[in-house]
């Protein structure tokens, strides 16, 4: 995935499905032996990282589309974390990032992960982009 700085085995998205000014959607299939699989389940840290990487992929694609440099992002806070269930091996996760607010280099985004249309997890992230 060229829009995120992470490399294997730390990649938590397989495909950038759609991105726009305020929304990004990715897909990721949970695989046996993945770094964040424990007892057949994809763990909470993996879900959070999947959300963060989806946000990064959307911001990276937007920068590329605007012929701007891709900036490094840092998570300043995570709030309103809700876990509905832990995914299992073979589940395909769809992660949607919606930009709620943007002020200069600070972005507040809502992240929602679903699997087969059912909720998996959600949270709000405060992300700061490093100046170019």
Q: Which fold has domain 15-129?
A: Thiol Ester Dehydrase; Chain A (3.10.129)
DSSP type of residue 11: -
* Structure tokens given for 115: 């699997």
Are 115 and 121 spatial neighbours (Cβ–Cβ below 8 Å)?
A: no
Looking at residue 71, its pLDDT comes to: 85
Instruction: State the residue for tokens 């700061």.
Output: 128
> Which residues in the chain show pLDDT less than 50?
none
Looking at residue 132, its pLDDT comes to: 67
Residues making up the chain, counted from first to last: 132
Looking at residue 9, its pLDDT comes to: 84
User: Nearest to residue 128, comparing CAs of 104, 99, 105?
Assistant: 105
Looking at residue 69, its pLDDT comes to: 84
- Output the pTM of the full model: 0.94
Residues with Cβ within 8 Å of residue 39, at least 6 apart in sequence: none
DSSP type of residue 105: T
């Amino acid at each position: 995935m060229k829009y995120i700085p992470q490399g294997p085995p730390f990649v938590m998205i397989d495909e950038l499905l759609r991105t726009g000014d305020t929304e990004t959607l990715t897909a990721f299939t949970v695989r046996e032996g993945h770094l964040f699989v424990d007892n057949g389940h994809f763990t909470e840290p993996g879900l959070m990282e999947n959300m963060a990487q989806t946000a990064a992929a959307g911001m990276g694609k937007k920068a590329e589309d605007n012929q701007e440099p891709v900036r490094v992002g840092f998570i300043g806070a995570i709030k309103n974390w809700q876990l509905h269930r832990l995914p299992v091996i073979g589940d395909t996760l769809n992660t949607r990032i919606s930009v709620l607010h943007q002020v200069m280099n600070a972005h507040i985004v809502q992240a929602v992960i679903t699997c087969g249309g059912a909720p998996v997890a959600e949270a709000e992230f405060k992300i700061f982009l490093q100046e170019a």
